[in-house]
Structure 1
Amino acid sequence: MSLDTVVEDIRDEARARADEIRAEADERAEEIISEAEADAEQIHEDREAEVEREIEQEREQRLSSAKLEAKQARLGARRDVLEDVHDDVEQAVADLDGDRREELTRSLVDAAAEEFDDGDSLRVFGRADDQALIEDILTDYDDAEFAGEHECLGGVVVESEASRVRVNNTFDSVLESVWEDNLKEISDRLFEAQ
Structure 2
Amino acid sequence: MSLETVVEDVRDEARARAEEIREAAEADAEEVISEAEADAERIREERLAKVESQIDQEREQTLSSAKLEAKQERLSARRDVLEDVYDGVEAAIEELDGDRRRELTEALLDATLAEFDDDEEVAVYTRTEDVELLEELVAGRTAQVDGEVECLGGVVAESDTSRVRVNNTFDSILETVWDDELKNISERLFDQ
- Tell me the TM-score range normalised by the shorter chain: 0.7 to 0.9
Match of 1:164 in 2: 163
Tell me the secondary structure at the aligned position of residue 120 of structure 2.
Answer: coil
CA-CA distance at 1:168 after TM superposition: 0.7
Question: For this pair of structures, how many residues does the alignment match?
Answer: 192
Match of 2:104, as an amino acid?
Answer: L
Cα distance in structure 2, aligned partners of 1:104 and 1:89: 15
Residues in 2 aligned to 1:135 and 1:20: alpha-carbon distance in whole angstroms: 125
Aligned residue runs from structure 1 range 97-116, under 5 A: 97-116=97-116
Alignment of 1:24-173 (within 5 A): 24-142=24-142, 144-173=143-172
TM-score by length of 2: 0.85
Q: Report the alpha carbon displacement of residue 119 of structure 1 after superposing the two structures with TM.
A: 2.0
The AA in structure 2 aligned to 1:53 is S
Counterpart AA for 1:51: V
Q: Percent identity?
A: 65
Tell me by how many angstroms 1:16 deviates: 7.0
Q: Residues 43-78 of structure 1, C-alpha deviation per residue, up to 9 Å, x if partnerless?
A: 101111221122222222222222222222122111
Instruction: Choose 12-21 or 39-48, whichever is displaced more.
Output: 12-21
For 1:5, the equivalent position in structure 2 comes to: none
Report the secondary structure of 1:132's partner residue. Answer: helix
Partner residue in 2 for 1:6: none
2:90 match: secondary structure: helix
Structure 1 position 155, deviation (Å): 0.4
Q: Tell me the residue number matched to 1:3.
A: none
Compute the RMSD of aligned alpha carbons. 2.8
Query: Alpha-carbon deviation of 1:79?
Result: 1.2
What is the Cα deviation at residue 37 of structure 1?
0.9
State the one-letter code of the partner of 1:123. Answer: A
Question: Deviation string for 1:125-177 (max 9, x for gaps)?
Answer: 110111111111111412x1111110000001111111111111000000111
Corresponding letter in the other structure for 1:28: D
Letter paired with 2:177: V
C-alpha distance in structure 1 between counterparts of 2:47 and 2:148, whole Å: 77
Unaligned 5+ segments in structure 1 are: 1-8
Give the TM-score normalised by structure 1: 0.85
Match of 1:158, SS state, is: strand
